[in-house]
């Protein structure tokens, strides 16, 4: 392994000069700095991460807490894109990311905070988890810099999608096209669900429509079976809806299957809309009307803000950042006007 001493010998300078050049210090000449860097690259010098961590008290490693109870893991369309944006931005700033273990069956399993301290993470991104878990609250209220995604704790950096604005845009589009019998199959209880549901009711009220209780049903996010079941129940009502909103685009596929099994045509006999803006929705017929979330920007912003908090703890503002989405009209909502 190439050492600072090897580079110093090759360049004819001291080890201290090599160290200053590689760390970008300004008290050495630019020509010397350039020469040292060129020799280091040619010799294949790799900094000792452990030594650097001991010297700077930073590991340049960020922990990511991602616990998908549905079991879809990194195939989860929404969070895979969010985490891709987070990873790219973190790496651009010189940080690696490591997932925090959630093996509940392992004897003597460390808590999230214990794992974070043991790994000496500089900060943690909480991207998908049960936010009511006491271990999560313990981590959030510790000394560790933290950013949460789609959930807000007091005095914690958070990046959230504009769920209220997104649902207002999506539902408003549906009501403007003349629909008044609009059903909503929402996801399980969470801050995201509560925001979207409240926005849905506000839009209905704006258009002078009272939504029957039987029109509002629940199925887990990304659960095609649950959406299929609840769609069948809606179609069996004496007064079925003319349009059904789903918790996400993936779940909408289950609803579309139930509709087609009844011999109905989506976008003609009954309308549907999803949420998230996944690619798959643009490749089915008719193209799915949905709300596109800017997942890449959510991830990038989370990384930007966390890195700033890590590197500038005294001046970084701990606040919430709202990322807006955009309506994709598609073809699955009929115009009844």
Question: Is residue 289 in some structural domain?
Answer: yes
Q: Are both 180 and 283 inside the same structural domain?
A: yes
3-state class (DSSP) for residue 221: coil
- pLDDT given at position 68: 67
Q: Are both 224 and 240 inside the same structural domain?
A: yes
In this prediction, residue 235 has a pLDDT band, given cuts at 50, 70 and 90, of very high
Q: Are both 275 and 312 inside the same structural domain?
A: no
Phi, psi (5° rounding) for residue 65? -95, 110
Higher pLDDT pick, 53 / 94: 94
Q: Are both 152 and 83 inside the same structural domain?
A: yes
> Mean pLDDT across the chain, nearest whole number?
90
* CA-closest candidate to residue 165, choices 320, 298, 325: 325
Higher pLDDT pick, 301 / 278: 301
Question: Is residue 171 in some structural domain?
Answer: yes
- pLDDT given at position 23: 75
Q: Are both 68 and 143 inside the same structural domain?
A: yes
pTM of the model: 0.79
The whole domain housing 148 covers 61-161+296-324
Q: Are both 67 and 105 inside the same structural domain?
A: yes
* Tally of structural domains, the chain: 3
Question: Is residue 52 in some structural domain?
Answer: no
The answer on pLDDT for 248 being more than 80 is: yes
Q: Are both 312 and 169 inside the same structural domain?
A: no
- pLDDT given at position 77: 78
Q: What is the CATH number of the domain that holds 43?
A: 1.10.260.40
The answer on pLDDT for 212 being more than 80 is: yes
- pLDDT given at position 102: 65
Question: Is residue 330 in some structural domain?
Answer: no
Question: Is residue 174 in some structural domain?
Answer: yes
Share of the chain above pLDDT 90, in %: 68
In this prediction, residue 79 has a pLDDT band, given cuts at 50, 70 and 90, of confident
The answer on pLDDT for 105 being more than 60 is: no
Q: What is the CATH number of the domain that holds 109?
A: 3.40.50.2300
User: How distant, in Å, are the alpha carbons of 49, 168, 184, 193, 240 from that of 162?
Assistant: 39, 10, 18, 12, 30
**What does the alpha-carbon distance between residue 245 and residue 249 come to, in Å, rounded to a whole number?**
10
Question: Is residue 184 in some structural domain?
Answer: yes
Q: What is the pLDDT of residues 127-147, one digit of tens each?
A: 888 888 999 999 999 999 999
Question: Is residue 115 in some structural domain?
Answer: yes
Q: Are both 26 and 69 inside the same structural domain?
A: no
Q: Are both 207 and 318 inside the same structural domain?
A: no
- pLDDT given at position 51: 54
Phi, psi (5° rounding) for residue 213? -55, -35
Q: Are both 313 and 254 inside the same structural domain?
A: no
Q: Are both 286 and 214 inside the same structural domain?
A: yes
CB 81 within 8 A of CB 248: no
Q: Are both 276 and 128 inside the same structural domain?
A: no
């Amino acid at each position: 392994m190439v050492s600072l001493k090897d580079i110093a010998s090759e360049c004819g300078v001291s080890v201290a000069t090599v160290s200053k050049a590689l760390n970008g210090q300004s008290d050495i000449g630019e020509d010397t700095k350039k020469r040292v860097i060129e020799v280091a690259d040619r010799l294949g010098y790799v900094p000792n991460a452990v030594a650097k961590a001991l010297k700077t008290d930073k590991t340049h490693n960020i922990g990511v807490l991602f616990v998908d109870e549905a079991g879809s893991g990194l195939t989860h369309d929404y969070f895979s894109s969010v985490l891709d944006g987070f990873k790219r931005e973190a790496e651009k700033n010189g940080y690696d990311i490591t997932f925090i273990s959630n093996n509940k069956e392992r004897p003597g399993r460390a808590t999230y905070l214990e794992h974070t301290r043991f790994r000496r993470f500089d900060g943690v991104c909480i991207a998908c988890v049960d936010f009511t878990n006491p271990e999560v609250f313990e981590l959030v209220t510790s000394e560790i810099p933290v950013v949460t995604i789609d959930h807000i704790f007091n005095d914690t950096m958070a990046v959230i999608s504009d769920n209220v604005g997104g649902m207002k845009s999506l539902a408003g589009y549906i009501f403007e096209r003349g629909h008044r019998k609009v059903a909503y199959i929402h996801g399980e209880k969470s801050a995201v669900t509560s925001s979207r549901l409240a926005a849905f009711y506000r839009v209905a009220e704006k258009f002078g429509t009272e939504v029957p209780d039987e029109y509002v049903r629940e199925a887990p996010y990304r659960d095609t079976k649950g959406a299929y079941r609840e769609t069948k129940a809606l179609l069996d009502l004496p007064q079925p809806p003319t349009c059904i909103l789903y918790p996400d685009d993936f779940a909408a596929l289950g609803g579309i299957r139930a509709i087609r099994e009844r011999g109905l045509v989506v976008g003609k006999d009954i309308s549907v809309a999803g949420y998230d803006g996944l690619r798959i929705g643009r490749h089915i017929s008719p193209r799915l009307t949905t709300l596109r979330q800017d997942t890449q920007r959510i991830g990038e912003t989370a990384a930007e803000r966390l890195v700033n908090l890590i590197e500038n703890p005294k001046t970084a503002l701990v606040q919430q950042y709202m990322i807006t989405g955009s309506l994709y009209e598609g073809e699955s909502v009929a115009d009844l006007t």
